[in-house]
Structure 1
Amino acid sequence: MVERLRDQRLDPCMDFAEFILSTSLTKLTSSYPPKSPEWEVENRNQFQQISMGKYDCLLFDLDDTLYPLSSGLAEQVKKNIQEYMLQKLGIPPAKVPELCFSLYTTYGTTMAGLKAIGYDFHCDDFHGFVHGRLPYDILKPDAILKGILLSLPIRKIVFTNSDKVHASRVLQRLGLEDCFERVISFETLNSSNEVGSEYTPSSTGIFYYYEYIRRPYSDIVLPRTPIVCKPFQDAFEKVFNMADIDPQRTLFFDDSLRNLQTGKSLGFHTVMVGTSIRATGVDHVLESVHNIKEAFPELWEANEKLESVECSRKVSIETSVIA
Structure 2
Amino acid sequence: MDYEDHFRQANRPKIDCLLFDLDDTLYPLSSGIAAACLNNIKDYMVERLGIEKSKIPDLCNLLYKNYGTTMAGLRGIGYDFDYDEYHSFVHGRLPYENLKPDPVLRSLLLSLPYRKVIFTNADKVHAAKALSRLGLEDYFEGIICFETLNPSHKVTVSDDEDDIEFVGSNTASMTNVSTTVNGGSSEIFDIIGHFSQPNSNGILPKTPIICKPSEAAIEQALKIANIDPERTLFFEDSVRNTQAGKRVGLHTVLVGTSQRVEGADYALESIHNLREALPELWEAGRKAEVATYSGKLTVETSVTA
User: TM-score, normalising length from structure 2?
Assistant: 0.79
CA distance in 2, matches of 1:91, 1:53: 49
What is the aligned counterpart of 1:206 among 161, 178, 189? 189
CA distance in 1 between counterparts of 2:20 and 2:66 reads: 23
- The whole-number CA distance in structure 1 between the counterparts of 2:199 and 2:118 is 36
How has the CA–CA distance of structure 1 residues 80 and 197 changed in structure 2, closer, same or farther, with 3 Å as cutoff?
closer
Seq. identity, %: 57
Secondary structure of the residue that 1:77 maps to in structure 2?
A: helix
Counterpart secondary structure, 1:210: helix
Change (3 A) 1:91 1:149: same
What secondary structure is seen at the aligned counterpart in 2 of 1:227?
coil
Other structure's SS at 2:285 match: helix
Asked if the contact 2:13–2:230 (Cα under 8 Å) also holds between the matched residues in 1, the reply is no
* Equivalent position to 1:172, from 120, 129, 132: 132
1:188 is the counterpart of 2:148: yes
2:255 is the counterpart of 1:273? yes
Map 1:275-314 → 2, pairs under 5 A: 275-301=257-283, 304-306=284-286
Match of 1:305, as an amino acid? G
Q: Which deviates more from structure 2 when the two are superposed, residues 73-82 or residues 218-227?
A: 218-227
1:74-94 CA deviation, whole Å, 9 max, x = no partner? 000000000000000000010
SS at match of 2:189: helix
Q: Which has the larger radius of gyration?
A: 1
Alpha-carbon shift at residue 166 of structure 1 (Å): 0.2
**Matches of 1:216 and 1:146 in 2, distance apart?**
52
SS of 1:157's partner is strand
Alpha-carbon distance in 1 for matches of 2:38, 2:282: 38
How far did 1:153 drift? 1.6
Is 2:116 aligned against 1:156?
Answer: yes
| Residues 172 and 197 of structure 1, relative CA distance in 2, 3 Å threshold | closer
CA deviations 1:271-299 (Å, max 9, x no partner) are 00000111111110000001111111111
DSSP-derived class of the 2:260 partner: coil
- Aligned to 1:59, the other structure's residue is in SS state strand
Q: How many residue pairs align between the two structures? A: 253
Q: Give the direction of change, closer, same or farther, for the CA distance of 1:284–1:53 in structure 2 (3 Å limit).
A: closer
Map Cα deviations across residues 52-95 of structure 1 (whole Å, 9 max, x no partner): 97100000000000000011110000000000000000000100
Which protein has the bigger helix share? 1
User: 1-side partners of 2:105 and 2:23: how far apart?
Assistant: 15
Matched residue type, 1:242: I
Taking the aligned partners of 1:216 and 1:276, their CA distance within structure 2 comes to: 38
Q: Identify if the C-alpha distance between structure 1 residues 248 and 306 changes in structure 2 by more than 3 Å, giving closer, same or farther.
A: closer
Tell me the equivalent position of 1:218. Answer: 200
- TM-score w.r.t. structure 1 length? 0.75
Q: 1:190 to 1:241 in 2, by over 3 A?
A: same
Deviation at 1:197, TM superposition (A): 5.0
Q: Where does 1:1-323 land on structure 2 (aligned, <5 Å)?
A: 54-192=14-152, 194-196=176-178, 199-200=181-182, 203-207=186-190, 209-215=191-197, 218-301=200-283, 304-306=284-286
Which stretches in structure 1 are left out of the alignment for 5+ residues?
A: 1-51, 308-323
Aligned-CA RMSD value: 1.8
Deviation of residue 202 (structure 1)?
7.7
**Cα offsets for 1:8-30 (capped at 9, x unmatched):** xxxxxxxxxxxxxxxxxxxxxxx
Which runs of structure 1 show a deviation greater than 4 angstroms over 4 or more consecutive aligned residues? none
Q: Distance in 2 between matches of 1:187 and 1:158?
A: 13
Residue in structure 2 matched with residue 40 of structure 1 by the alignment: none
Is the Cα–Cα contact under 8 Å of residues 117 and 202 in structure 1 kept in the other structure? no
